[in-house]
Amino acid sequence: MNPIIIAEQPSKSLSEALSSLTFSSLFILTDENTQEYCFPLIKDALPESYFHFTFPAGEKHKNLETCAEIWTEMTEAGLDRKALVLNLGGGVLGDMGGFCASIYKRGVRFIYLPTTLLSQVDASVGGKLGVDFEGLKNHLGVFNEPELVLICPQFLNTLPSNELRSGFAEIIKHGLIRDKEYFENLDFQNWKENDWKSLISHSVEIKKSVVQEDPKEAGLRKILNFGHTIGHALETHFLDGSNHLLHGEAIAAGMICEAWLSKEKCQMSSADLQKITQNLLEVYGKIRLNKADFEPVLNLCLQDKKNEGKEILFSLLEKIGSCTYNVPVNKNEIAAALTYYQNL
């Protein structure tokens, strides 16, 4: 795994990183938010000459149409295979920018400066890249590592509260699947008061330890998907509606549902289920879920990338701090988990 650096000063750290790399040209990718709020924090570190492309922010733009625009810009800029792409943004931009770099001319190098809590603790680690396709999340993609990841907690000062809260869901997940003490030491009641720099460092180490053991998600790495089978389905289902969910909001609901499945399928204790449910509701509240939403959500679960054949496979908890994977779950059981959530 290539270096992941946690740094205090974005501009100074990026300048040092760029001076350690050789490249024929630099192509910077931002979305409309990181262009306004984050790009000024790194501008002084950039060489005199570079190319720069900005696209609209949001999950709904994470598709092949946006990729085509990016590839057109890269082509018109004349980027060769020794060019370097700098991805400045959250998970959507990191996933898509890395994917575009990996495909262009069969691959050019890229570096990643994640700017959201979600991307700093999750999307920046492990080299999973891709875009949504035909309404299916991350349906097209590759595994490819950036040359380096530069995590600057200072970028969190640019985030609205709901984006910070969204990222917290992945931190909670890391504790649930791998570190009970970490989970129990999180502040749920006053979640904004958590020590983000310390949590970022610990979460990165948890994810790194899993990814290093299973880089291509053949086994253990699947535990990182706890909460994501139902969570991704909810996120996709509500993507274009008035109930649009941020990734972490959908994953929080998914973790409650999948904690219930963990009790039913893996004998996790009722006490653990209650603790998980209460803590997640404390931070995220409840999303509005109607019976009419069940069938489309169930159908989206059928497309999950962990599935084998027609079997829906989940990563579920044995207890807080311990997760297993490849647990078969049928549609009736998923519906029952959604009903548990709906009735809270």
304 has a pLDDT exceeding 90: no
Q: What is the pLDDT of residue 306?
A: 84
Q: What is the pLDDT of residue 305?
A: 80
Helix 270-284 × helix 161-178 angle, to 10°: 170
89-103 pLDDT, tens digit per residue, is 999 999 999 999 999
Sign, Cα dihedral of 32, 34, 36, 37: positive
Say which residues have a Cβ less than 8 Å from residue 43's Cβ, sequence separation at least 6: 11
Q: What is the pLDDT of residue 2?
A: 81
Average pLDDT over residues 16-42: 97
Using alpha carbons only, what angle is made at residue 270 by residues 264 and 272, rounded to the nearest 5 degrees?
A: 105
Task: Categorize the per-residue pLDDT at 113 as very low, low, confident or very high, splitting at 50, 70 and 90.
Answer: very high
- Both tokens of 140, joined, read 């097209």
What does the alpha-carbon distance between residue 306 and residue 299 come to, in Å, rounded to a whole number? 14
The whole-model pTM stands at 0.94
124 has a pLDDT exceeding 90: no
Task: Categorize the per-residue pLDDT at 174 as very low, low, confident or very high, splitting at 50, 70 and 90.
Answer: very high
Average pLDDT over residues 28-41: 97
- Residue 114 pairs in a beta bridge with 89
Using alpha carbons only, what angle is made at residue 304 by residues 124 and 276, rounded to the nearest 5 degrees?
A: 70
CA Rg value for the chain = 20
Distances (CA, A) of 324 to 58, 206, 262: 32, 16, 10
Residue 58: burial class (beta carbons within 10 Å; 0-12, 13-18, 19+): middle
Instruction: Report all structural domains of the chain as residue ranges with CATH numbers, in order of start.
Output: 4-157 (3.40.50.1970), 172-342 (1.20.1090.10)
Whether the Cβ atoms of residue 269 and residue 290 lie closer than 8 Å to each other: no
What does the alpha-carbon distance between residue 134 and residue 303 come to, in Å, rounded to a whole number? 11
171 has a pLDDT exceeding 80: yes
Helix 331-342 × helix 228-237 angle, to 10°: 70
Average pLDDT over residues 163-186: 98
Using alpha carbons only, what angle is made at residue 201 by residues 85 and 185, rounded to the nearest 5 degrees?
A: 145
Task: Categorize the per-residue pLDDT at 10 as very low, low, confident or very high, splitting at 50, 70 and 90.
Answer: very high
Whether the Cβ atoms of residue 277 and residue 259 lie closer than 8 Å to each other: yes
236-293 pLDDT, tens digit per residue, is 999 988 889 999 999 999 999 999 999 999 999 999 999 999 999 999 999 999 999 9
* Average model confidence (pLDDT) across the chain: 96
Q: What is the pLDDT of residue 15?
A: 96
205 has a pLDDT exceeding 80: yes
**Which H or E run contains 278?**
helix 270-284
Task: Categorize the per-residue pLDDT at 1 as very low, low, confident or very high, splitting at 50, 70 and 90.
Answer: confident
Return contacts of 182-187, CB within 8 angstroms, 24+ apart: 182/206, 183/320, 183/321, 184/320, 186/279
